Amino acid sequence: MQHQLVARSVGTSGTPGTVTSALDPRWAALASRDGKADGTFFYGVTSTGIYCRPSCPSRRPRADRVRFFDTTTDARQAGFRACKRCRPDTVGLAQPGVEAVRRASAYLATHANQQVTLGHLGRVAAMSPHHLQRRFKAIVGLSPREYQAAVRAGKLRSSLRDGHDVTTAIYEAGYGSPSRVYEAAPTGKGMSPSTYRRGGAGMVIGYSTVSSPLGLVLVAATADGVCSVKLGDSDAALVRDLRQEYPAADIQANQQTRTDWVKAILRHLRGAEPSLDLPIDVQATAFQWKVWRALQRIPYGETRAYAEVARAIGQPKAARAVARACATNPVCLVVPCHRVVPAAGGSGGYRWGADRKAKLLATEGKRVGRL
């Protein structure tokens, strides 16, 4: 299961469309304020009417209030005005390859259901295939093939939620055959695409919302394990997010069979249970599972940089993809993505708020000092 974060996107045609930002590589760049992404896209915040560059230091907006744009012209035509803090209109295309990468990523997004060779993509972007591969990964954080796979995954989830049968959804997403999508499924416990599809109907999810030192915590679970842990300040907003992910599921409040899991998470937040080992039932790619398992191996009270996690999973060049996997973690605390921090220092961004992340790390640090 992926936590549903909906944003609006405007492509090169200027036509708006809904995307799942948790699956959109641009969301990770926005969430981490990645300066390398400046110039590759811009985002507008509907609640303020302002558009920004990805690295804008302003408070990170809610995903359901975000619209993505390829250019500042698109943003202005949609009625947004430039941010006076990050001055997005001053972003040039001075960084080598930015415009070529923008053309390539736009082409991959509109041809997600086709096999695109690197040679053909190089002709689209007007850059040699070898150089394009290097610049694409340096700027986007994924290879062209990985980026196209992420776009397909987003389309697959959208088709499943729209009620299409699994086989139809897989072919419409461009996987070519059912075996292709199962190759990307986790090898351990987790929802397969068909189980995710059943999440719309016939699936029982119990949840509880409780108070904690970090505010409200929503814990949701299936019969097989925890499928969602969310932090927030509004009970209604947390429940609404859960129902958006499984709109036709049988979602039941205060499911008593999950009380022990909820109590374990609360004890963990108080520092009384450093080791939080709960069953997880989510849908994820093999890469996401690899990253999340690595996060679970980070000792209580310690932190790791994104590059360190990338090296730990045997993919030292995948630091930005690791950051994206952290940003899409649907079961915070159970998978401790808060223990991954920027190499430059500080606690860094957090899907549930930087203040919560800093408090979590401080609590764990104090607890370790007493052990």
- Whether residue 58 is predicted with pLDDT greater than 80 in this model: the reply is yes
pLDDT, tens digit, for every residue of 184-225? 444 334 555 555 555 545 678 899 999 999 999 999 988 878
Distance from C-alpha of 307 to C-alpha of 70, rounded to nearest angstrom: 28
**CB-based burial, 322-342: b 16+ in 10 Å, e otherwise:** bbbbbbbbbbbbbbbbbbbbb
Q: Does residue 288 contact residue 318 with C-beta atoms inside 8 Å? A: no
Whether 198 and 319 share a structural domain: yes
Give the lowest-confidence range in 60-64, 109-113, 136-140: 136-140
What pLDDT was estimated at residue 214?
Answer: 92
Which CATH number characterizes residue 13's domain?
3.40.10.10
Report the DSSP pairing between strands 250-253 and 204-212. parallel
Give the residue, 138 or 170, on which the prediction is more confident: 138
Token look-up 């915040």 returns 45
Give the residue, 169 or 102, on which the prediction is more confident: 102
The answer to whether position 370 is within a domain reads yes
Where does the pLDDT of residue 92 fall: very low under 50, low under 70, confident under 90, or very high at 90 and above?
A: low
What pLDDT was estimated at residue 12?
Answer: 34
Q: Does residue 70 contact residue 102 with C-beta atoms inside 8 Å? A: yes
Amino acid at 175: Y
- Starting at the edge strand found earlier in the chain, the sheet holding 250-253 runs 226-232, 215-221, 204-212, 250-253
Give the residue, 38 or 338, on which the prediction is more confident: 338
Residues annotated catalytic, as ranges: 52, 337
Whether 202 and 344 share a structural domain: yes
What pLDDT was estimated at residue 195?
Answer: 52
Whether 199 and 322 share a structural domain: yes
Task: Tell me the average pLDDT of the chain.
Answer: 77
pLDDT, tens digit, for every residue of 249-300? 788 887 555 788 899 999 988 887 777 888 888 777 767 888 998 999 999 9
The answer to whether position 132 is within a domain reads no
Residue numbers of the domain that contains 237:
191-371
- Whether residue 13 is predicted with pLDDT greater than 50 in this model: the reply is no
Whether 85 and 217 share a structural domain: no
Among 63, 90, 117, identify where a domain stops. 90
What pLDDT was estimated at residue 94?
Answer: 47
Q: Model pTM greater than 0.95?
A: no
Whether 195 and 85 share a structural domain: no
- Whether residue 11 is predicted with pLDDT greater than 70 in this model: the reply is no
What pLDDT was estimated at residue 211?
Answer: 93
Over residues 107-125, the mean pLDDT reads: 88
Among 59, 90, 121, identify where a domain stops. 90
97 Cβ neighbours under 8 A, 6+ residues apart: 127, 131, 132, 135, 136, 138, 139
> Could you give the number of structural domains in the chain?
2
Which CATH number characterizes residue 349's domain?
1.10.10.10
Where does the pLDDT of residue 234 fall: very low under 50, low under 70, confident under 90, or very high at 90 and above?
A: very high
Q: pLDDT > 70: what percent of the chain?
A: 74
pLDDT, tens digit, for every residue of 171-185? 555 555 555 544 444
CB count in 10 Å sphere of residue 145: 15
The answer to whether position 172 is within a domain reads no
- Whether residue 51 is predicted with pLDDT greater than 80 in this model: the reply is yes
- Whether residue 118 is predicted with pLDDT greater than 80 in this model: the reply is yes
What pLDDT was estimated at residue 88?
Answer: 86
- Whether residue 313 is predicted with pLDDT greater than 50 in this model: the reply is yes
Where does the pLDDT of residue 1 fall: very low under 50, low under 70, confident under 90, or very high at 90 and above?
A: very low
The answer to whether position 356 is within a domain reads yes
- Whether residue 84 is predicted with pLDDT greater than 90 in this model: the reply is no
Give the residue, 23 or 233, on which the prediction is more confident: 233
The answer to whether position 277 is within a domain reads yes
Give the lowest-confidence range in 103-107, 251-255, 337-341: 251-255
Whether 210 and 85 share a structural domain: no
Amino acid at 77: Q
Give the residue, 70 or 312, on which the prediction is more confident: 312
The answer to whether position 159 is within a domain reads no
What pLDDT was estimated at residue 151?
Answer: 72
Q: Does residue 71 contact residue 53 with C-beta atoms inside 8 Å? A: no
The answer to whether position 142 is within a domain reads no
- Whether residue 86 is predicted with pLDDT greater than 50 in this model: the reply is yes
Q: Does residue 184 contact residue 170 with C-beta atoms inside 8 Å? A: no
What pLDDT was estimated at residue 265?
Answer: 92
What pLDDT was estimated at residue 187?
Answer: 35
The answer to whether position 150 is within a domain reads no
What pLDDT was estimated at residue 6?
Answer: 35
Q: pLDDT > 90: what percent of the chain?
A: 23
Where does the pLDDT of residue 307 fall: very low under 50, low under 70, confident under 90, or very high at 90 and above?
A: very high
Alpha helices (H) in the chain, listed in sequence order: 25-31, 72-77, 98-110, 118-125, 129-140, 144-161, 166-172, 178-183, 193-198, 235-245, 259-269, 286-296, 306-312, 319-327, 354-370
Among 61, 90, 119, identify where a domain stops. 90
- Whether residue 63 is predicted with pLDDT greater than 90 in this model: the reply is no
